[in-house]
Amino acid sequence: MSSGSSSEEVSSVELLQARNFLWHLAEDHVKDMALKCAIDLGIPDIIHNHGGESIPLSKLIAALPIHPSKAHCVPRLMRILVHHGFFVTTKKHHHQEEEEEEEEEEEYSLNVVSRLLLDESPFIISMKPYVSVILSPKLIAVWGSMSAWFRNSDATLYGTVEGRDFYDMLEHN
């Protein structure tokens, strides 16, 4: 993108690229919150504990600790998570016993990223605790207060929001 000083110097392609960049940046929190939701609901562990390579959407929904009225929203959540590379999806054909037809159903499996989010990761250490803290509402609120911190004399960003040092909070929690 050009660093021109006036709008006349910016091409329409550059303007579209800049708008696209800002659009994606502004909506990037959806990815983070979808990941937080997946961790909070235990989706990586549910898929892992299913015992197979993948879990059908219907079985995933049945295993989730959610209110039944929210079941229809799970496919949307999973699409976001798959799109951002947290899980892998495939379509599998399942024979309906009552009917002669086969039904196609989404199935979800873990990848290297989601394996790092298991309670007992097969890798050196699970990233689940770290990601959970980073995406916690308290820490998100801290980052959302950055402009207030720049305007005051507090030593730390966390101090602006909580009135105490981050490490002091960790020591007491």
Give DSSP secondary structure letters for 104-156: EEEEEEE-HHHHTTSTT-SSSS-SHHHHHHHTSHHHHHHHHTHHHHHHS--SS
- pLDDT (0 to 100) of residue 101: 66
- At residue 22, does pLDDT exceed 80? yes
| Signed CA dihedral, 85, 91, 94, 98: sign only | positive
Domains of the chain from N-terminus onward: 11-116 (1.10.10.10)
What global pTM score does this model have?
A: 0.80
The DSSP symbol for 47 reads H
- Residue appearing with tokens 């696209």: 20
- At residue 4, does pLDDT exceed 60? no
| 5: confidence class by pLDDT, cuts 50, 70, 90 | low
3-state secondary structure at position 103: strand
pLDDT tens digits along 30-86: 999 999 999 999 999 999 999 868 999 999 999 999 999 999 999 999 999 999 999
CA torsion angle 15 21 27 29 (round to 10): -150
Q: Which residue type does 65 have?
A: P
pLDDT tens digits along 95-126: 666 666 677 899 999 999 999 999 987 777 89
- At residue 1, does pLDDT exceed 80? no
